[in-house]
């Protein structure tokens, strides 16, 4: 709701023309985004935020794989290597042993797959519609989905919870503006791995807000995933420098 208020206000102020609306893509993207976000919230209720975030951000790996048949993008050996490294990091974070494995980790893994699909919808939309139009329509549809889903369990939030909800909505609205602008200007398989920086921020926020100190497994797994993203970023930077002249 708060994200929609932000986007709706921007529409009223800037008054852009809404043209060539691809409703099927918008509904697909919003549905996947809503389900993915819901699964992340559910997983964070049971496992550390850093772990849930790290696992869910396997979505660039799924996005890279899906970009081949859906978007026709070419994925070279360095990208495959970066994806493999990230996957190893995720397997570490899953803690696949009977004593340490938590079923909620599978919720974060499912979120990664679904958000990877969302990235495909987002890339197609970013290539044909304006960013503000995409965000306005997606938040409108998302508000409708969330309103229906919330009815059976609705409780009036406290004042502090209203502030927190507003913070989530406003922050996500800003994040969407930056991300869609980025994905509109480069291959989805290149842009998506930079989202792994969220791992670092999530760990810091979890420590500051909840005094959650990451264990060595979290640090190792997150470090491996970030290494894969850095490898990709360095490689792509070299390629772009060679192509630019």
Domain layout of the chain by residue ranges: 2-243
Cα–Cα dist 29/10, whole Å: 21
pLDDT(241) > 80: no
178-214: pLDDT as tens digits: 877 777 777 655 666 666 667 777 778 888 888 878 7
CA 27 to chain centre: 17
CB 78 within 8 A of CB 235: yes
What average pLDDT does the structure give for the chain?
Answer: 81
Residue whose C-alpha is closest to residue 108's, from 57, 41, 60, 56: 56
Q: If you ran DSSP here, which 8-state letter would residue 156 be given? A: P
CB 139 within 8 A of CB 173: yes
Task: List pLDDT tens digits, range 97-127.
Answer: 666 678 888 898 888 889 888 888 887 887 7
Q: Which residue in 64, 113, 54 sits closest to 88, CA to CA?
A: 54
Q: Output the CA angle 39-159-208, nearest 5 degrees.
A: 60
How much is the pLDDT for 16? 83
- Cα dist from 31 to 25, 27, 43, 85, 110, whole Å: 10, 6, 18, 29, 14
Flag whether pLDDT at 242 surpasses 70.
no
pLDDT, residue 222, reads 77
More confident residue, 240 or 13: 13
**pLDDT digit string, tens, across residues 8-40:** 998 899 888 878 889 999 999 999 999 998 998
Q: Is the pLDDT of residue 245 over 80?
A: no
Helix intervals (H) in the chain: 2-14, 23-44, 49-56, 59-71, 77-94, 104-126, 131-150, 159-183, 188-191, 197-210, 216-243
Token pair belonging to 213: 């100190």
* Higher local confidence (pLDDT), 67 or 46: 46
pLDDT value of residue 55:
76
Q: How confident is the model at residue 223 (pLDDT cuts 50, 70, 90)?
A: confident
What is the model's pLDDT at position 238? 63
Q: What pLDDT score was predicted for residue 50?
A: 73
What distance in Å separates the CA atoms of residue 108 and residue 110, rounded to the nearest whole number? 5
Question: What number of other Cβ atoms are within 10 A of residue 93's Cβ?
Answer: 27
What is the pTM assigned to this prediction? 0.70
- Residue 106: predicted pLDDT: 87
Return the pLDDT at 233.
65
Identify the pLDDT of residue 27: 94
DSSP, res 16: -
Task: Burial-class residue 132 by CB neighbours within 10 Å (0-12, 13-18, 19+).
Answer: middle
C-alpha to C-alpha distance for 36 and 154, rounded to whole angstroms: 20
């Amino acid at each position: 709701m708060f994200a929609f208020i932000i986007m709706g206000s921007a529409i009223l102020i800037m008054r852009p023309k809404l043209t060539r609306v691809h409703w099927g893509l918008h509904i697909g993207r919003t549905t996947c985004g809503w389900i993915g976000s819901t699964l992340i919230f559910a997983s964070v209720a049971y496992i550390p935020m850093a772990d849930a975030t790290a696992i869910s951000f396997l979505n660039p790996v799924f996005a890279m794989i899906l970009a081949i048949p859906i978007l026709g993008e070419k994925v070279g050996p360095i990208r495959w290597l970066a994806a493999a490294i990230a996957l190893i990091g995720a397997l570490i974070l899953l803690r696949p042993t009977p004593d340490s494995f938590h079923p909620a980790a599978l919720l974060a893994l499912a979120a990664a797959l679904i958000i990877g699909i969302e990235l495909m919808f987002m890339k197609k939309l970013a290539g044909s519609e304006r960013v503000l139009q995409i965000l306005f329509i997606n938040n409108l549809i998302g508000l409708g989905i969330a309103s229906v889903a919330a009815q059976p369990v609705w409780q009036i939030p406290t004042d502090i919870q209203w502030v927190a909800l507003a913070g989530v909505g406003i922050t996500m609205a800003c994040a969407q503006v930056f991300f869609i602008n980025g994905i509109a200007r480069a291959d989805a398989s290149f842009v998506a791995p930079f989202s792994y920086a969220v791992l670092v921020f999530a760990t810091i926020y979890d420590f500051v807000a909840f005094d959650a100190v990451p264990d060595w497994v979290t640090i190792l797994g997150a470090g491996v995933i970030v290494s894969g993203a850095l490898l990709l970023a360095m490689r792509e930077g070299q390629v772009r420098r060679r192509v630019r002249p």
